[in-house]
Structure 1
Amino acid sequence: MEQQMVTFKPLDPDFPIEQQLGIETGPIVLVNLFTVDAADQDALVEAWKEDALWMKRQQGYISTQLHKAIGESSMYLNYAVWDSVADFRTAFSNPEFQKALSHYPSSAVTAPHLFEKVAVTSCCTA
């Protein structure tokens, strides 16, 4: 059986996740878009579940939710809330987590990006 591994593709090529991990701020939201071949959707969800259960045990983890695009699309969106970039960086960089990325189907492409709340008068708070 060939080694499987998710492929990383920056959501913003001008400021990829590797650069974002160096910023000290929080709380943050990880937004992660996944695409996968239709035949690999169950394998993607199972790999994501294993990651989510592991992340839930890490310091600074708050919550996560997986969404599937409607219709025949094979796109998924995950968002995860963390206390800080530092907490997410520690979990994401952990060798145990990095090794688990091999459980994703080879057709999986992920585009992770970190965000923080923005205050907009009369609409939302930061």
Structure 2
Amino acid sequence: MPNMRPVDPAFPMERQLAIEAGPVVLVNTFTMDKADEGIFLDAWRNDAELMKRQPGCISIQLHRAIGESPTYLNYAVWESTADFRAAFTHPDFRAKLSAYPSSAVASPHLFQKVTIPGICVA
């Protein structure tokens, strides 16, 4: 199971899951030992396949840091926190976490779009 390190320790995932909002974007960074990248990719693929089948999952994308950094960013769009909460707490998903390498550290956080006039829309 990856070690969980909140992006904002004052507002960890458990608190975020209690807020009803939508749509939401999960941004999750992963770091690990370089030797564990293959194990990580297999584990991530398996849990992403499960998540894609869950109600409310709009899209999932994995990015790798450039260069030699064994750092990854997962960007997933969900219709609501309720949908993400159901998927994140699903027993099949929780069971898959044990396949991640012990060196993996995950830092997940939920976000919503922001409107900045003339720049971006929510």
Distance in 1 between residues matched to 2:55 and 2:46, nearest whole Å: 17
Q: In the TM superposition, what is the alpha-carbon distance from 1:95 to its structure 2 partner?
A: 1.0
The residue aligned with 1:105 is 101
The residue aligned with 1:38 is 34
CA RMSD of aligned residues (A): 0.5
TM-score normalised by the chain length of structure 2: 0.98
Q: In the TM superposition, what is the alpha-carbon distance from 1:63 to its structure 2 partner?
A: 0.2
Provide the identity percentage.
60
Q: Equivalent residue of 1:44, what SS? A: helix
Residue segments in structure 1 that go unaligned for 5+ positions in a row: none
Distance in 2 between residues matched to 1:30 and 1:122, nearest whole Å: 25
Q: Equivalent residue of 1:31, what SS? A: strand
Matched, 1:55 2:70: no
Distance in 2 between residues matched to 1:52 and 1:63, nearest whole Å: 10
Matched, 1:27 2:23: yes
AA at the equivalent of 2:73 = L
Distance in 1 between residues matched to 2:62 and 2:92, nearest whole Å: 22
Distance in 1 between residues matched to 2:105 and 2:92, nearest whole Å: 20
Instruction: Write out per-residue CA displacement over residues 22-72 of structure 1, whole angstroms, 9 at most, x where no aligned residue.
Output: 000000000000001000001111111001100010000000110010111
Matched, 1:69 2:65: yes
Output aligned runs, 1:1-20, within 5 Å: 5-20=1-16
Distance in 1 between residues matched to 2:40 and 2:7, nearest whole Å: 19
Q: Equivalent residue of 2:45, what SS? A: helix
AA at the equivalent of 1:89 = R
Distance in 2 between residues matched to 1:33 and 1:11, nearest whole Å: 9
Q: In the TM superposition, what is the alpha-carbon distance from 1:10 to its structure 2 partner?
A: 0.4
Distance in 2 between residues matched to 1:116 and 1:19, nearest whole Å: 15
Residue segments in structure 2 that go unaligned for 5+ positions in a row: none
Q: Equivalent residue of 1:106, what SS? A: coil
TM-score normalised by the chain length of structure 1: 0.95
